[in-house]
Amino acid sequence: MGPKHQRALFCIAERVMTSKRKHVQTIRQLAGTEEYYLLIIREIDRLEGQLCKTRSLQAQATLTLLEWLTTLHYFNWHCAYCQERPFQVMSHIIPLPQGGGTTVENCVPACYRCGRSGRNKKTNMLVIGNLMQLKTKMQAIKEQAQLTMKQLNLSLLPDKYAVCQFHPDKHIPYWALLGDFVSLTRTPEELSIVCQEDNVPGDIEAERGWRCVQVRGAFDFSIAGINASLAIPLAEAYISVLAIATYATDYLLVKEENVERALQVLEQAGHIIER
């Protein structure tokens, strides 16, 4: 599983905490394998159980699923104390009865043996050192997740578009460059052109009937994953899109027959549609 895929799965997992039943199908899809799906579901249950127990003790209960999965990932899904055996339980460095909370600073994976036995202070200091490093990493991941789920202003461009494919050696036809939105991609295999449908001559083979949603307003080019906040809700609604990134912003091409539903879904996901 690639890092991008994993981040998307983590983000979904994060949202799932509030309405697990609704998103089970999405996790199943994103997880790809049954094994990974079961693993995520197991951690959701584990975390919910711990948070519940912690709240009943009036202690701090702030650990999110994203934080917990990142912690597990950081310790390679192994016990944070012995770092030898696969992890089996969530361990609180300061135990719950002693006032420890279920927080990112206080929770690590442990094997049964280390989780149960009285862990000595030296080991704890080591683990705390590891956690400090993890926290820095976590902050970066958190910021990225927030960006990923950022609210965006979107607008639907008025025209219809076509996606045309040519031999890579072909000259760019003049008609392709007309209109307000044109995207050209040349690879060794093809010359691919997205342009206004009206300008495409009738005898040209093209996939017609696309609408284009523009992400409004400039944002920093370095912001990766801005598309996930659009792609994830659409994927959940089984609407496929063709994404085009430019230096300044992103565009989503959606088939005409799906565009109204797509806008509805994006609106429900918290984005603002400028109509």
Return the residues of window 134-173 that contact Zn ion according to CB under 5 A: none
In the chain, how many H helices and how many E strands?
8, 10
Q: Which CB sits closer to Zn ion, 81 or 166? A: 81
- From CA 162, how far away is CA 176, in angstroms rounded? 10
Query: SS3 string of 43-78?
Result: HHHHHHHHHHHHHHCCCCECCCHHHHHHHHHHCCCE
The residues near 46 (Cβ < 8 Å, ≥ 6 apart) are: 90
114 belongs to the binding site for Zn ion (CB under 5 A):
yes
Position 81 contacts Zn ion (CB under 5 A): yes
Residue 207 zone, left/alpha/beta (φ > 0; ψ -120 to 50; rest): beta
Q: Choose the binding region for Zn ion from 77-85, 157-165, 189-197, 238-246 (rule: CB under 5 A).
A: 77-85
Q: Which stretch binds Zn ion (CB under 5 A): 85-93, 143-151, 168-176, 251-259?
A: 85-93
Stretch that binds Zn ion, among 32-40, 72-80, 119-127, 141-149 (CB under 5 A): 72-80
User: For Zn ion, which residue of 38, 52, 82, 172 counts as binding (CB under 5 A)?
Assistant: 82
Measured CA to CA in angstroms, residue 17 lies from 20, 63, 101, 106 at distances of: 6, 11, 19, 20
Say whether residue 108 binds Zn ion (CB under 5 A): no
Identify which range of 110-118, 195-203, 208-216, 256-264 contacts Zn ion by CB under 5 A. 110-118
CB of 65 vs Zn ion, minimal distance in Å: 23
CB atoms within 10 A of CB 234: 21
Contact 145, 69 (CB under 8 A): no
Please give the structure tokens belonging to residue 49: 């159980």
AA identity, residue 211: R
Shortest distance, position 52 Cβ to Zn ion, whole Å: 25
Q: Which of 11, 12, 111, 138 binds Zn ion (CB under 5 A)?
A: 111
Give the nearest distance from C-beta 108 to Zn ion in angstroms.
10
The answer to the question of residue 79 lying near Zn ion (CB under 5 A) is: yes
Question: Given the rule CB under 5 A, which residues bind Zn ion?
Answer: 79, 81-82, 85, 111, 114
